[in-house]
Amino acid sequence: MKNYLSFQKKQESFNSKFNFICVSLIVLCTACTKQPVKNTGNEVARGNKLITTALGANESFVIANQSGELWCTFKYNNVAKFDFMVGGAGAISQLRWSAASNAPLLSPTYAGEHTDRVIQTTWWSDNILCNINSQAEKRWNVTQAGDGAGVLSPTNTVIVDQTNHSVDVYADVQDQFTPAYNSTLHGGFKMLTRYTCLAGGVIEIRRVMIAKQADSAGVNKPYTHLYVEGWTPFLSASSTFNALALSLDTAGAPNWWYLADYNIPTYPNWDADETNGYAVAYHTNTATSNVYAAFVFGNEQPNASFSGRHAFNSMNWNNGIGVLPGLTFASFPVGGIIDQHFYLYVSSGRNGATMTLLNSLVSQLPSVKTYGPSDTKPTDLATIVSNINTYTSTSGTRTENLGSLASGL
């Protein structure tokens, strides 16, 4: 996936004028990279709802069945700004900037499948292995949308709430990403994915996940060394995004950033509380593209029920910039629950208000919560857990056409 030589090959093909521009960009980029420093002294009180669920007078959020597909569109003055498709098992399979002729903002499919280059969660466990000699990857790995061959995870129930601008998708995630392992490795997680449009077009993503029993060749295995990743694969292209920022200044300009095909870190594993809690995919030349996509993951550690750790990771491949916040657990119980929130914000024209907005979103983002199977849960979470168990008790449908399954449209 990652093309280490692409930057060098592009450089060799440039004439001297463009070589000078490229070297200048590299110097600037190197000067603007840094090692994270733990945030102290500038925290904002949590729980202040600076962004509300009430849309502005000129804002609307349209959830519609389009030829069987479930599309969500944010509009301002009745003009579409961006839209996204809710695909198999609740993953975001397409994200588009409507203001530029529906320009795609996610990395394109790797080999025709719609289960990899989508916004989703993926789980790994290093202690659950399957030694099939023909396969290089040995670890238990279950991915929300489906397996690496394109077989979609079952979607059980889809509920649209037009009044509250939200979509709920209940899914039973059960297939190994490496299809050859499905005969030996089992287990996964059942989950709710909820998308809610907030004021200004901020999309709140909530994932409530319940661990199922895993086994290898029929022998039950505990979850140790569990890694739960928020896989967010933005497009890397000359016409869209070519850089990743982890901080903006008061004018909205990146002041901690990396250039695609050059120095985006590969799995740096930084503590989330050593970052600003957000990442922004953007283009260094606003004349080429002034759209940007911000993913807010938060800068707090999870509650300590299972010795969890919240980290920021990233990676770059030939046509993608991966924003990959991850949770690691030394051990995690069967029936254990993860309740995690993110914000996705797509807009154009970064300015001073951009930094203020992102900092506000970080300040109000609920921290990651984990619960044991018998732990007392908040009322809303207890209801969600009950619904997950009910809706996933019967077989789901392996489809990307969630519009055909949705109630409330």
Per DSSP, the three-state class of 27 is: helix
Distance from C-alpha of 66 to C-alpha of 45, rounded to nearest angstrom: 41
Per-residue pLDDT 10s for the chain (409 aa) are: 333 223 222 222 323 333 333 434 443 444 456 556 444 333 333 334 456 668 988 999 999 999 999 999 999 999 999 999 999 999 999 999 998 899 999 999 988 899 999 999 999 998 898 877 666 668 899 999 999 999 999 999 999 999 999 999 999 999 999 999 998 999 999 999 999 999 999 999 999 999 999 999 899 999 989 999 999 999 999 999 999 999 999 999 999 999 999 999 999 999 999 999 999 999 999 888 899 999 999 999 987 667 789 999 999 999 999 999 999 999 999 999 999 999 999 999 999 999 999 999 999 999 999 999 999 999 999 999 999 999 999 999 999 999 999 999 9
Please report where in the chains the tokens 């200004």 appear, as a residue: 200
Q: 388: part of which helix (H) or strand (E)?
A: helix 379-391
What is the DSSP code (8-state) at residue 298?
Answer: -
The burial class, CB within 10 Å (0-12 / 13-18 / 19+), for 190 is: buried
Give pTM, 2 decimals.
0.89
Q: 363: part of which helix (H) or strand (E)?
A: helix 352-364
Residues whose CB is less than 8 angstroms from the CB of residue 265 and which lie 6 or more positions away in sequence, other chains included: 258, 314, 315
Which residue, 343, 384, 387, 330, is CA-closest to 195?
Answer: 343
Two tokens at 72?
Answer: 């969500």
Q: Which CATH architecture has domain 59-407?
A: Distorted Sandwich (2.70)
Q: Count the neighbouring beta carbons within 10 Å of the beta carbon of residue 122.
A: 19
Residues whose CB is less than 8 angstroms from the CB of residue 23 and which lie 6 or more positions away in sequence, other chains included: none
Distance from C-alpha of 244 to C-alpha of 268, rounded to nearest angstrom: 14
First to last CA, the chain: 38
Q: Are 205 and 195 in contact (CB under 8 A)?
A: yes
